[in-house]
């Protein structure tokens, strides 16, 4: 099964992806995680992405598409994958379509977590506080200033993907404001209809 989780920062894409991973035994491909690893390892891509990410802006399509193209070639992605944080622009979505078509593959579903903007600001503040309380380093872009930019980038560049995928009959909307377990239950129901 090849899935995309769509939704603004703080919508719960990471949390829900982790649960789908367990259920379907397919890998979660998070471009954010891959980029953070590249930044930590100070690879050439990491060095290019570091400041852009800290500001909350989007890394170039070229870099991100290259990372995903490599990652979906890995053996563990053969049976499927969940993309978390990719695509984030229409050109990225078009590049993904081409990549999959070139491999004779297609997407099964795009699950959008619909959330209210006010709640997101609180969620991000919460995530930062909980991470700090665990003694773990807080993401550089989990602060109100970078968050505003991330949300603006989402609205301007990523939100058009809902229509892109709706037009292809792939979009499944879910209420991301429901409690975490209820969202998971809704997502699982959706997945059942897709695999039926
Ligand atoms: P995330 O962990 O998905 O919130 O991503 C964190 C940051 O990584 C984003 O704010 C961007 O700077 C960068 N990033 C992650 N995925 C992408 C993508 N598909 N396109 C461009 N930038 C991305």
Q: What is the pLDDT of residues 21-79, one digit of tens each?
A: 998 999 999 999 999 999 999 999 999 999 999 999 999 999 999 999 999 999 999 99
Of 39, 61, 56, 57, residue with least CA distance to 48: 39
Position 196 confidence tier, pLDDT thresholds 50, 70, 90: low
Known catalytic residue: 139?
yes
- Homologous superfamily in CATH for domain 2-27+74-195: P-loop containing nucleotide triphosphate hydrolases (3.40.50.300)
pLDDT range class, residue 122, cuts 50, 70, 90:
confident
The pLDDT assigned to 125 comes to 85
- Give the active site residue among 114, 123, 127, 140: 127
Cα–Cα distance measured from residue 5 to residue 16, given in angstroms and rounded to the nearest whole number: 9
Separation between Cα atoms, residue 130 and residue 57, nearest integer Å: 24
- Pocket lining: 88 vs ligand 1, CB cutoff 6 Å: yes
For the chain, domain boundaries: 2-27+74-195
B/e letters for 134-145, b = 16+ CB within 10 Å, e = fewer, are eeeeebebbeee
Which of the listed residues 32, 45, 66 should we mutate to test ligand 1's pocket, taking the one with most ligand atoms within 8 A of CB? Answer: 32
Report which of 47, 14, 44 is spatially closest to residue 32, judged by C-alpha positions: 14
Whether 2 is catalytic is no
Q: Is 28 in the pocket of ligand 1 (CB under 6 A)?
A: no
pTM, two decimal places: 0.93
d(CA 36, CA 31): 8
Tens-place pLDDT, residues 126-154: 888 999 999 998 888 888 889 999 999 99
User: What's the chain's Rg over C-alpha atoms?
Assistant: 16
């Amino acid at each position: 099964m090849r899935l995309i989780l769509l939704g603004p920062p703080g919508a719960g894409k990471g949390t829900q992806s982790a649960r789908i991973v367990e259920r379907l035994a397919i890998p979660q491909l998070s471009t954010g995680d891959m980029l953070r690893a590249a930044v930590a390892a100070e690879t050439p891509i990491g060095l290019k992405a570091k400041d852009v990410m800290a500001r909350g802006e989007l890394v170039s399509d070229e870099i991100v598409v290259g990372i995903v193209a490599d990652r979906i070639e890995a053996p563990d992605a053969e049976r499927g994958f969940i993309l978390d944080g990719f695509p984030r622009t229409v050109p990225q979505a078009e590049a993904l379509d081409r990549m999959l078509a070139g491999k004779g593959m297609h997407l099964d579903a795009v699950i959008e977590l619909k959330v209210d903007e006010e709640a997101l600001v609180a969620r991000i503040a919460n995530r930062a506080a909980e991470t700090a309380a665990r003694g773990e380093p807080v993401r550089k872009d989990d602060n109100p200033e970078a968050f505003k930019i991330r949300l603006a980038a989402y609205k301007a560049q990523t939100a058009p993907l809902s229509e892109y995928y709706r037009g292809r009959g792939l979009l499944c909307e879910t209420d991301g404001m429901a409690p975490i377990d209820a969202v998971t239950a809704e997502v699982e129901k959706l997945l059942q209809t897709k695999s039926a």
